[in-house]
Amino acid sequence: MTHIINISTFEYTGSTARGDEGTVEVTLRNDTRRVPASRSLSNPEQITAYGMTGRYQTGSKAWNATVTSRRDPTTGKLWDSIRFGRDDRASRFQKASALSFT
């Protein structure tokens, strides 16, 4: 499975009380770009990327979107979580296909 965020490309630019700030490579469809990101202090393999837009298929409103990739410490599996608009976790709607760069 291809993941949206390539967590190994995180480049540190500074820190905050909640974690490290930097940039990371994100791939949407066949387009790869470097976007702002933050890395968790409690789980260094959890990175949230910003600078994307999400749009529902039935709506015209563009929402700010974030993508979080985290590695499960027990299984080692990498998970992507996409957030924008209302919290719709129904499997009938794949948010990954509705993302674009800002």
Q: In this predicted model, what pLDDT tens digit does every residue of 81-99 receive, in sequence order? A: 888 876 655 555 667 778 8
Average pLDDT, the chain: 87
Q: What is the mean pLDDT of residues 28-48?
A: 93
Q: What letter would DSSP give residue 17?
A: S
Residue 20 has pLDDT above 80, yes or no: yes
The per-residue pLDDT for range 39-63, each reduced to its tens digit, is 998 888 899 999 999 888 777 888 8
pLDDT, residue 67, reads: 93
Written as six digits, the tokens of 77 are 């599996």
Task: Name the DSSP letter for residue 86.
Answer: S
